[in-house]
Amino acid sequence: MSSELSVGYSFSKNIYAIVRRRSNGNVWDVGDSALEAAGTWNNARIGECDIALTDKGGGYYTGDFPTACTTAATYDIMYYDRAGASPAITDRLIGRSTVVWNGTAATTTPASGSGTTLANLKNMCYFHGWQSKDDAGESALTRFINNTIRMLTTLAPWPEYHKRDGRITLATATAAYTMTDDGDSNIGNIGQVGDIIRTNRTTPLTEMAGGINEWLFRTKTVTRTGWPEEYAMRPYVSSGLILKELLVDPKPTSAENGDYLYFTYFLLPAELAESTDETDWPNYRLWLLEEALDKRNAAAKRDSLGVALQTSEFTALINKAMKDARPSYIPLRASIVTDYRNRNIKEIWPIITS
């Protein structure tokens, strides 16, 4: 295997990668050809761990995963643009990717985790009456399961999909940005975006009432520069992932270059493809997913529109699940407020207890 590491960026740059094991943060030390514990590695030694990438033309950089690594695991790859003669912790992070390594080569089979596998979800559907088990039926069942999970995520603000790491790095004279996380890596499959704030403003940016058309009119006819105050949003698709582009006005100047915009967002669920793929739908709420699969499967034409999930009966189940999830999301505190004015009470004496 080769070229497991790849990233797109500006051409004629010095790009390198750092490999970390996801489960414990251990970093691959190129010089020692070994994984080094995260606690013993320090920022000054980044030059011992960089894997140089080759520009294949047009800003497409590739490199090989270290074949000397024999530890099967999921690895997070971070890509940097080297600014000086040698790697430094201040180099710009330009992207991230994931490599699932089986000890000798990259594989499409995810590492074992704690989620429910696609195979187990299929068995649930067979139990509830799904009959088609040939290749076409298996493919249809995979789509059915993915669609059901996606439908469920749109029916309530589940805390597991509410993310808080949205961040955009402003650049001089740039008005359009793909929405990224706090590592400047593109965020795929954003469902909804919350308030967008900047570091020196107490109120969020205002969304343009006219959307993209208003943004286009302003940027082409009016010259405004400085901190962004308003925005529009444009969704688009890249490599099968839904991305969102943030269009701001005014355009940042060199004074705002490198500053940030922050936002929260709801993430759509990950697609399942292989039998061992694990859903990011939490196990403690698996009962609700099973109910949804059962109701859609039992309905006419397997309920392609998800009507069974819109009934008052299923809504009651969603409300129950949200009550279970809510304490980990926003703690609710009940308080009783008594209006003594309506009780003809002139004075209220404190009650002292010992």
pLDDT at 350: 43
pTM of the model: 0.57
What CATH number has the domain bearing residue 15?
2.60.40
Q: For the chain, how many structural domains are there in total?
A: 2
Residue 205 lies in a domain: yes
| Domain end position, chosen among 81, 101, 121 | 101
- pLDDT single digits (tens) 140-149: 999 999 999 9
Residue 32 lies in a domain: yes
Same domain for 94 and 167 = no
pLDDT at 28: 92
Residue 323 lies in a domain: no
Residue 91 lies in a domain: yes
Residue 112 lies in a domain: no
Residue 313 lies in a domain: no
Residue 71 lies in a domain: yes
| Domain end position, chosen among 73, 101, 129 | 101
| Domain end position, chosen among 101, 118, 137 | 101
- Whether 267 and 100 have beta carbons less than 8 Å apart is answered as no
pLDDT at 115: 63
Q: And the tokens for 108?
A: 């499409």
Other beta carbons within 10 Å of 143: 12
Which residues of the chain carry a pLDDT beneath 50?
1, 109-114, 327-343, 345-354
pLDDT at 343: 46
CA angle 234, 235, 237 (to 5 degrees): 140
pLDDT at 325: 66
pLDDT at 326: 57
Nearest to 292 by CA among 153, 162, 161, 189: 153
Same domain for 260 and 173 = yes
Q: How far is CA 11 from the centre of its chain?
A: 27
Q: Which domain holds residue 165?
A: 160-267
Residue 316 lies in a domain: no
pLDDT at 142: 94
